[in-house]
Amino acid sequence: MEFCDGGLESIFGENDSIKLVAFRKIMLGLRSLHSHNLIHRDVKPSNIFLKDGEVRIGDLGLAVDGVEGGGEEEEDGMGTFLYRPKENTVSEKWDVYSAGVVLIEMMSSYGSGMERVVKLTAFKEGNVEEGTDERVKRLALWMTEEEPGDRPSVEEVLTELRESGLVEEGENLEEMKEELGKCRKEVERLRNILDEHGISY
C-alpha cells in the first residue's frame, strides 16, 4: 500500500488555480480507469489522495468492470448519496456526475460540515453558490445533467477545462508546490537573518 501526503480536502484552502489543476488530474485518473474498463462509482474527496503533487484515486471497493457491469441496473443506495447520480444504470457517465459534484465542492466555501451538505444538496438540484466562476458553474452543471446522455465524456471535460481557460495546458500541481516550498524556504532564510541582527518582526 502506498502512503500519500494527504487527501484532496488538504488543498481546499488553496487558490483556485491549484485546485483546478488538481481537478484536471482527477479527470486524467478517471480517463485511465475508464481506459481499463473500470467504473469507480464512488468518486468523492475522501477517496482522492495527493502524493508528491500528483493525484491518486483510491478505494476501488465499488468499482465494476465497464464491459461486464456497464449498462446493468444497480441497487438503490450504491455509492455515496451526495455524489451519486439518480440513475441506477452503470456507465462512465456515473463517474462524470460524481466528479462534477466534487468540482463544485472544491470551488465553494463552507463554514461547517452541515453547510457543505446543504450547499451540495442544493447544487444537485441545480442551484450554484453565488459568486462561483461562470465557467466552473457551466461545466459542473453540464457534468451533473440528470440524463447520462446529456453529460460530457471525460475527454470533453478535459477539453472544456483547457478551452475555457480554467486550466492551462502543462500546468502542474507538483511544480506549483515546489515553487511554494521555495518561497517558504526563502521566508525562513530571511527570518534567520533578522533574528541574527536582533530585529523583531
Say which of 5, 16, 42, 95 is annotated catalytic.
Answer: 42
Considering the entire predicted model, what is its pTM?
0.78
Considering the domain architecture, whether residues 68 and 51 belong to the same structural domain is answered as yes
How high is the pLDDT of residue 169?
A: 63
Number of domains in the chain: 2
- Assigned domain for 1 exists: no
- Evaluate whether 49 touches 72 at the Cβ level (below 8 Å): no
Active-site annotation holds for 42? yes
- Evaluate whether 93 touches 69 at the Cβ level (below 8 Å): no
Considering the domain architecture, whether residues 143 and 157 belong to the same structural domain is answered as yes
Considering the domain architecture, whether residues 192 and 127 belong to the same structural domain is answered as no
Considering the domain architecture, whether residues 66 and 142 belong to the same structural domain is answered as yes
Considering the domain architecture, whether residues 103 and 175 belong to the same structural domain is answered as no
- Assigned domain for 73 exists: yes
Considering the domain architecture, whether residues 40 and 137 belong to the same structural domain is answered as yes
Q: Which residue has the cell 453565488?
A: 130
- Assigned domain for 83 exists: yes
**What are the tens digits of pLDDT across the range 90-129?**
899 999 999 999 999 999 988 888 999 999 999 999 999 8
- Look at residue 175 and tell me whether its pLDDT is greater than 80: no
- Domain of 158? 6-169
- Assigned domain for 154 exists: yes
Output phi, psi for 49, to 5 deg. -125, 160
Considering the domain architecture, whether residues 131 and 182 belong to the same structural domain is answered as no
Considering the domain architecture, whether residues 83 and 157 belong to the same structural domain is answered as yes
